[in-house]
Structures are given as C-alpha cells and as structure tokens.
Amino acid sequence: QLDRRQIDMKARTIFVGQSKNGFARTVSMHDKTHAAILPLMSEDRDIWEFDDGSDLEPLFMTDKGTPYPDTRVESSGNPMKTAHHTACRKAAIGDFTVHDWRRHWACWMLKEGVDPWTLMKMGGWSDLKSIEPYIQAAAGDMTRQAAALARVA
C-alpha cells in the first residue's frame, strides 16, 4: 500500500512509514522502479479517507478501482503473496516464496560489492547479525568465482 505523497520522484526515494520490523525508513528507487512508477504518478487519484481518520492517495489500485487493503491490519490476505503464488504455479515453479526474492536480492547485492552495513540499511535489517546468512552465502560464491578466475588466468 504505497501512498503517492510518500514518493519523491526527483530524489528517487520512497518513504515507508511502517516497515515489516515496525520502523520508518526511506529507500532509494532503482531506475527501473522509477520508470515504472512515473506514469502512475501522473494519473489523477482521489484521496481515500478511512473510518479511523487516516487517508491514502494510493499508487496501486485493484481492478475494481479501490486501494488495496492494508494487510497489516486486515485479515484479507496478502495480495503480493497471492500474486506470487499464482505466478509460480502458472510457471510450474515450486518451493519458491516471496521471501526468497529478498534473499536473492541480498546475496546479489553482496556479490556486486555492496558492503554489509549498506545492505543492512537498504534492506531494513536492524543489525549485521541478521544478514550473516547472506554474507556467508555470498562469500561461498565469491570463493568459487575466484577459483574460476585462477584457472583461466
């Protein structure tokens, strides 16, 4: 549930008021994310007011033209998890969860040279111990890559 007022297209950042671990943070947008969101930011959207006094200018809308429910407070299921499951089923991919994307991203960032401290901040982890498994996985892959380079050098 992204609120368009929390997206800064010029600075290429998205403010997340309450992340999975409960903390607010600002994340940088990848160029592909910026390009994908740009047309959505130019569309007119109404501000939706809710019974609890909160409001939302949604970036994404359901096919019925309503904002997606906040799955942190409503037990309506998780649309991202449902869409992921459906896509994996259609592609005949088994045993691959939404969280596997996060693991993949963390390992990929480390393999590309992002330092653990920056990864921790970008991924919203609260301490370096949380990303230790990804550091170990990336280090194992880097050892294999170094051995391959030594064979061809």
Rounded CA separation 11/28 (Å): 8
Task: Give the residue with greater pLDDT, 79 vs 114.
Answer: 114
Rounded percentage of the chain residues whose pLDDT exceeds 90: 21
**Computed from CA positions of residues 66, 69, 75, 79, in that sequence, does the dihedral angle turn out positive or negative?**
positive
Outline where DSSP puts E strands in 41-126: 48-49, 55-56
pLDDT tens per residue, range 83-134 = 888 888 999 998 898 888 888 889 888 888 899 999 998 888 888 999 998 8
Nearest residue to 128 via CA among 137, 117, 136: 117
Over 80: is that where the pLDDT of 34 sits?
yes
Over 90: is that where the pLDDT of 4 sits?
yes
Nearest residue to 26 via CA among 5, 47, 7: 7
Rounded CA separation 65/61 (Å): 5
Over 70: is that where the pLDDT of 72 sits?
no
Q: Mean pLDDT of all residues in the chain?
A: 84
Over 70: is that where the pLDDT of 153 sits?
no
Over 70: is that where the pLDDT of 75 sits?
no
What's residue 51's pLDDT?
Answer: 82
Cα 75 off chain centre by? 21
